[in-house]
Structure 1
Amino acid sequence: MIEILTSSTLNTIQDFGRPDAISLGVSRGGAMDRLALAYGNILLGNDPDAAGIEVVFFPFRIRFDHATSFALTGARTAATLDGTPLPPDWAMQARPGQILTIPAPTAGARCYVTLRGGVDVPQVLGSRSTDLKGGFGGLAARALRRGDRLQTLPVPPLSFPATGYGLTCPTPLPDGGDVVVRALPAAEYALFAAGSQDRFWGRPWKLTPSANRMGYRMEGTETLALDSPVNLFSHGILPGTVQVPPAGQPIVQMADANTCGGYPKIATIIEPDLRVLAQTAIGQSVRFIQITRHEAVEAMRLDARHLHALACGIDTLRPDLAPAISVTS
């Protein structure tokens, strides 16, 4: 069991979400950086989609009431366990009473705390993820608060070297320059004026403070416009959809995206780079790069190969975890 000592809005329990419930009008949800969550789980021998804690507001502190194996992945921070610095993407064994402190990131925007066995909260529509908009899932359908106590699912304990262990994670993090995000033209792309198409791909866009798990509003020096006005019925949308409302500034749908909308769609961000955008800090500059469908499929396959390589690396480092790992290429 762990106790939350400090927390804030949007620090929530997340797994891989509810992709099978989109047809019911339920957001996919889940971790904004699914690769980082999966890596933390692999380090502990959990299923890659076991529920963990997504940390967005800092500092974040938890106390371990029992001996607990945990991993910290995602954004880079100067995290400590009872004052001892932790390397990035690292798994450790915490003793009863020890306190994990996670300060504001130095790179990236979201951290993931995973626990051996995964966080034990009820499943709703096949997922333990918190849906703040829908008001279900996670712990009482809300963000974590000071004093909350979380249990893990029962699994055999792990033996740990005193200093813990980790492997290099391929999760890219924004480094302060322009964040490059790959995307495909979307359904209404051809309806946009040629100049607007060029501006979308060729100009930087700033991530505004109007950014949450539902969507990211981008801001540019020039606006985007259609060749002529068009009326659209509301239609299905997914995380990664880039819509352009009448104001001409794009909105990127994120993990908790609505399942339908009526704004014209100019592009769709590929899944591997939606994770990169999720790790982008407010105010950073983003550039959209057009790729082909073939390149998008290859990028997704590369993500799967990265996870498989991580699982194989942990298999070599920790053969005792091999039966628990279920990642395929």
Structure 2
Amino acid sequence: MSARLHICAAGPGVTVQDAGRFGYSRYGVTPAGPMDEAAFLTATRAVGAAAAIEISLGGVTLETEGASLAVAIAGGAFDIRLDQQKLPSACLIPLTPGARLTIRAGVSGAWCYVAVGARFDLPLALGSLSTHARSGIGPKPLAAGDALRFLGVAPAPDGAQAIEAPWLARDDAPIRVMLGPQDDYFTPKAIEALLSAEWRVGARSDRMAYALEGPQLTHSRGHDIVSDGAAIGAIQIPGSGAPFVLMADRQPTGGYPKIATVIGADLGRLAQLRPGETLRFTKVGWAEAVAARAALKNKLAAGAVLTPLAAEVSTEKLLAVNLIGGVVSGRE
């Protein structure tokens, strides 16, 4: 069985992403993949999918044709509506032909994932479906008028269900970092500033890097190094002294010293911050970073809890039902 998913409307930054494109960094090919891995896995595992549609603040509107689809949604606290029914920001729903799913920015969060219980009918690019817009590798970013075809469509659920996944909740605790690998290129005052200042996510932030606004971080040994591998979460400091946190579409190598690296367990929390929002950093060691990553992995492995949602009772439905048998005077 096949189905088509129509993109009725789409803001910028709507792409197809799977786990990423690995093994090609040596050739200058970025991994890409999801900005918030935990949210991506929450959605894809709910429907047994390998890839999802990643949505940014501009939102998206979707309709299906040909078959009902099992659709799982997870990410930031986005505004999710099926036709006019408001849904939880993490949910599993049947998307029937003619129904319209609208996802818009909500109270918080920068990224949302829509996974379908089916297989994308798209060609792999270097073994992956992930879109890397800057290089043109993978499917092109989605826009209004596009349609995605799916194969091997799984049965849709009978009704909508909330996905209860505590790890998706907003957490304003400091973002944990490990110093290095080039923290010796910075003055002690710069490292102290990194860990004590309040940083603001800049407007130039995107899938490649998050630009941070705050105090200038001073180099002690110059701002150029021999280019080396650039890991996701690395905090590069160019000559301007303004930090950039490398994200999913980062360059494979870089020649600016990296003062610290965001630990894997906190990358999703950082990714979900919008331009203008603030954060702080705190230093941790290797053992704590590994333990935090393992704890998140175990929570994801245990899985989310699905809770059936009661059907919405609208005014139109109430008026269509004969609720009373007659009217009497209050004096009687």
Q: Identify whether the pair has TM-score above 0.5, normalized to the shorter chain.
A: yes
In 2, Cα distance between the equivalents of 1:218 and 1:30? Answer: 22
Q: Equivalent residues in 2 for 1:236-255 (5 A)?
A: 236-255=229-248
1:120 CA drift (Å): 2.8
1:37 CA drift (Å): 1.1
Match of 2:36 in 1: 33
1:126 CA drift (Å): 1.3
| Cα-to-partner distance string for 1:147-184 (whole Å, 9 max, x where unaligned) | 111112314424x232334233412435xxx5621110
Q: Is structure 2 residue 298 aligned with structure 1 residue 305?
A: yes
| Cα-to-partner distance string for 1:290-321 (whole Å, 9 max, x where unaligned) | 0000011011111210111106x57x99xxxx
Identity of aligned residues (%): 32
In 2, Cα distance between the equivalents of 1:274 and 1:237? Answer: 15
| Aligned counterpart for 2:161 among listed residues 161, 164, 185 | 164
Match of 2:60 in 1: 60
TM-score, normalised to structure 1, is 0.87
Q: Which moved more, 1:58-67 or 1:264-273?
A: 58-67
| Cα-to-partner distance string for 1:268-302 (whole Å, 9 max, x where unaligned) | 11112111111001011111110000011011111
Q: Equivalent residues in 2 for 1:183-262 (5 A)?
A: 183-220=177-214, 222-229=215-222, 231-262=224-255
In 2, Cα distance between the equivalents of 1:263 and 1:96? Answer: 51
Distance 1:214 1:163, change over 3 A: closer
| Higher strand content, 1 or 2 | 2
1:78 CA drift (Å): 2.4
Match of 1:82 in 2: 83
| Aligned-partner residue type, residue 260 of structure 1 | T
RMSD of aligned C-alpha atoms? 1.9
Distance 1:231 1:104, change over 3 A: closer
In 2, Cα distance between the equivalents of 1:202 and 1:182? Answer: 12
> Secondary structure of 2:292's partner?
helix
In 2, Cα distance between the equivalents of 1:202 and 1:274? Answer: 19
Distance 1:68 1:155, change over 3 A: closer
Aligned residues: 304
- 1:81 and 1:98 in contact (8 A); partners too: yes
| Cα-to-partner distance string for 1:101-152 (whole Å, 9 max, x where unaligned) | 11222111111111112433111111101011111212xxx21011111112
TM-score, normalised to structure 2, is 0.87
Match of 2:262 in 1: 269
* Structure 1 segments unaligned to the other structure (5+ residues): 318-329
In 1, Cα distance between the equivalents of 2:122 and 2:57? Answer: 22
Match of 2:131 in 1: 130
- 1:179 and 1:280 in contact (8 A); partners too: no
> Secondary structure of 2:303's partner?
helix
Q: Equivalent residues in 2 for 1:107-186 (5 A)?
A: 107-138=108-139, 142-158=140-156, 160-173=157-170, 180-186=174-180
| Aligned-partner residue type, residue 109 of structure 1 | A
1:44 CA drift (Å): 1.2
| Aligned-partner residue type, residue 190 of structure 1 | D
In 1, Cα distance between the equivalents of 2:130 and 2:206? Answer: 16
In 2, Cα distance between the equivalents of 1:212 and 1:295? Answer: 28
Match of 2:21 in 1: 18
In 1, Cα distance between the equivalents of 2:216 and 2:173? Answer: 20
> Secondary structure of 1:79's partner?
strand
| Aligned-partner residue type, residue 181 of structure 1 | I
In 2, Cα distance between the equivalents of 1:224 and 1:103? Answer: 36
| Aligned counterpart for 2:278 among listed residues 248, 260, 285 | 285
- 1:179 and 1:284 in contact (8 A); partners too: no
- 2:78 and 2:103 in contact (8 A); partners too: yes
* Structure 2 segments unaligned to the other structure (5+ residues): 309-332
| Cα-to-partner distance string for 1:158-215 (whole Å, 9 max, x where unaligned) | 4x232334233412435xxx56211101121022111111000011111100101111
Q: Which runs of 4+ in 1 moved over 6 A?
A: none
1:232 CA drift (Å): 1.6
Q: Which moved more, 1:143-152 or 1:111-120?
A: 111-120
- 2:211 and 2:243 in contact (8 A); partners too: yes
Distance 1:103 1:231, change over 3 A: closer
> Secondary structure of 2:202's partner?
strand
> Secondary structure of 1:101's partner?
strand
| Aligned-partner residue type, residue 181 of structure 2 | A
Distance 1:200 1:96, change over 3 A: same
- 2:69 and 2:154 in contact (8 A); partners too: no
In 1, Cα distance between the equivalents of 2:143 and 2:112? Answer: 17
